[in-house]
Structure 1
Amino acid sequence: MALLNSGDRVNDTLVIDRLLGEGAFAEVHRVRHAYLGLQAMKLFKKVASLEETHLMLDEARLLSTLGHANIVRLFDANTVQTPEGLRGFFTMEYLPGGSLENLSKAYPHSVPTAIAVDVMEQIASGLAVAHEQDPPILHRDVSLANVLIGYDGSVMRVRVSDFGLAKRADPVTRTASAKGTIAFMAPEVLTNQGYSCASDVWSVGTIAYFLLTDHLPYGETGRYSSYSFARFNRRLLPPSRYNDDVDARLDEIVMSTLQLDPQERPTNARVLADALRRRRRPPAVSYRDRDRGRARHLADEALRLHRIPGELERAADLMEEAIDLWPPLGEQHQPKLLLWRKGVMM
């Protein structure tokens, strides 16, 4: 039974709307703010003081002030009286798309590659901000349940939540919650060898692998497989073995995040985000000197012609040809071309 139910008043401005989900550590409710509309509220099951609530949220509150598009914003933290006694809670932005668990369930076999890569890159961008703090802020519990989805218009916006909570949560209940958080933990974490930025990178790679293949890395067939450490003795197949849409470069990036030795992974989320960005960027094109020279000649001719009455359309055609032949000219002349096409002489 939930600690709070629909219609319960949290304080003067917050009322419980409905339960969104729960784990061994906390309940998540949708709440209605009297002035600000819908928010999400995480209600801790064991945290019973405001001081302890603030302590748990120190890192998350710091990151929230940075206003990064891929980090969930926090609004408030306080305590509320429940049938089980005083309990700590915090409120954050409500994202109607739910978590990545919802996204993965929406596709019976694998999430479309373009969407999966977009998710991976946005998670890495959010984590990179945390990893670049001094000292780095480690998430320690990146999983399907802790990555939320919202939309800016028609654009999907991924936001990482629950920064810092895993560090202070009960290690037993944490690994038992949210459909197997342990499945997203790096080998060095499972063997108590310490946690690093590379451990968060492992978790991002696990999410990407799962979204692309509908399998957990190093696991058995199926969505949620055995969590025994012996699974790391299996050979890891690249995502392309399950998904023909995964290209060689994406294979390489995902596999790099899942190296058993943390020293062999991208050292932090910024390195991973940069690798994904380079993959997305088209390869540089080498232009011959002859093409460059002809393009400049065409551009010069266009600039001469556009001042002659009746020649503006011909000038625009020549300038467009010049830019097609040598695209760097576009930085200088594209604005002129757009005006010429509208019949405006400069």
Structure 2
Amino acid sequence: SIIINLNISKASFSEVVLAEEKRTQKLVAIKCIPKKALEGKETSIENEIAVLHKIKHANIVSLEEIFESKSHLYLVMQLVSGGELFDRIIEKGFYTEKDASKLIQQILDAVKYLHDMGIVHRDLKPENLLYYSMDEDSKIMISDFGLSKIEGSGSVMSTACGTPGYVAPEVLAQKPYSKAVDCWSIGVIAYILLCGYPPFYDENDAKLFEQILKAEYEFDSPYWDDISDSAKDFILHLMEKDPNVRYTCDQALQHPWIAEDTALDKNIHESVSAQIKKNFAKSKWKQAFNATAVVRHMRRLQLGCPQNVESGADPLSNCTYRCHPTSRV
């Protein structure tokens, strides 16, 4: 599964193109999945669609429609055009604990909604958090439900999955786990938002897993010297080794760092952005389309139809959307 991003993206078995609804000229992202590539992966994509069909939340990228042709499956997704979380933080000149608290509150609201519906995301990480628009006060959106699981929809969750630095200890221990794994990941994200580096790191995966299994992390000086005790307490409750003691989304939303006024207003931008650049530099950032540039580009062009999607007529030509062939990367 791939992140539905403002960037027109490509994955091992699917790609995303920018498209326009003919009637309203509203821009959307269409995830194009060749059926040949789905052989053996049908369960994964069916699971993602089942999850997406169930959810409607202001901070979650929505599935608008599904189309099918002989050779392809097309998922019409809400377009989020504000870019990645880290990029936005780096671009800011001013960034505080309060900003981080507001971001985490939105994530908690969305994940609480998922959990209330019996859905566990299982792959929460900064790369899956995208801004809805380029507006200064844009909301944050959760994307990529490729690893999501509906509780009670089969076996007990015990499959080790997710992204190593963000997975909870019980996942690595290959024990049965629950929605508490998402709360751990939110704790890791909150930690990174306040210092710019991950709580667990080692070039050697075995050593990294050992750190996570023991829940061994520090609030290192000088990076945490100006961070409030309330923020540290919040993280400690989410990055709690025992999933039975770990805060739920409900409890986290009631913590003073989220619900009250304990998040500090001090500007921590210089230190945090320097650490993000050092620890999360990705070549794909440089290669990715800038959101506004893509939108402007699409507006300037005479929008055509996809080419070479399959032989014969364009499968989307009779539907409500039109795509541009150059909108692929």
Q: 1:280 to 1:35 in 2, by over 3 A?
A: farther
| Cross-structure match for 1:161 | 143
| Cα distance in 2 for residues equivalent to 1:234 and 1:195 | 16
| Cross-structure match for 1:329 | none
Structure with a larger share of its residues in helix:
1
| Cα distance in 1 for residues equivalent to 2:220 and 2:189 | 12
Q: Deviations 1:121-143 (Å, cap 9, x if unpaired)?
A: 1000001111112xx21111111
Single out whichever of 211-220 and 192-201 deviates more from structure 2.
211-220
**One-letter amino acid of the counterpart of residue 213, structure 1:** C
The answer as to 2:121 corresponding to 1:132 is: no
| Cross-structure match for 1:119 | 103
| Cross-structure match for 1:254 | 235
Number of residue equivalences: 242
Q: Give the share of equivalent positions with the same residue, in percent.
A: 24
| Cα distance in 2 for residues equivalent to 1:105 and 1:44 | 33
| Cα distance in 2 for residues equivalent to 1:207 and 1:193 | 23
Contact 2:51 2:149 in 1 (8 A): no
Q: 1:260 to 1:27 in 2, by over 3 A?
A: farther
Q: 1:164 to 1:272 in 2, by over 3 A?
A: farther
The answer as to 2:53 corresponding to 1:61 is: yes
Q: CA deviation at 1:33?
A: 2.8
Contact 1:212 1:239 in 2 (8 A): no
Q: 1:188 to 1:155 in 2, by over 3 A?
A: same
User: TM-score normalised to the size of structure 1?
Assistant: 0.59
Q: Which structure 2 residue ranges, 5 or more long, are not aligned?
A: 1-5, 151-158, 264-329
Q: Which structure 1 residue ranges, 5 or more long, are not aligned?
A: 1-17, 176-180, 283-346
The answer as to 2:261 corresponding to 1:270 is: no
Contact 2:63 2:76 in 1 (8 A): yes
User: TM-score normalised to the size of structure 2?
Assistant: 0.62
| Cross-structure match for 2:197 | 215
Contact 1:250 1:279 in 2 (8 A): no
Q: Deviations 1:172-223 (Å, cap 9, x if unpaired)?
A: 9x75xxxxx2221111112221231210001111111112112111225xxx
| Cα distance in 2 for residues equivalent to 1:47 and 1:192 | 27
Secondary structure at the residue paired with 2:65? strand
Q: Deviations 1:82-138 (Å, cap 9, x if unpaired)?
A: xxxx34332221111123243355479x964222221111000001111112xx211
Single out whichever of 26-35 and 94-103 deviates more from structure 2.
26-35
Give the one of 70, 73, 76 matched to 1:88. Answer: 73
Contact 1:111 1:212 in 2 (8 A): no
Q: Deviations 1:271-294 (Å, cap 9, x if unpaired)?
A: 212224333379xxxxxxxxxxxx
Q: CA deviation at 1:226?
A: 4.5
Larger radius of gyration: 1
| Cα distance in 2 for residues equivalent to 1:198 and 1:52 | 22
Q: 1:264 to 1:97 in 2, by over 3 A?
A: same
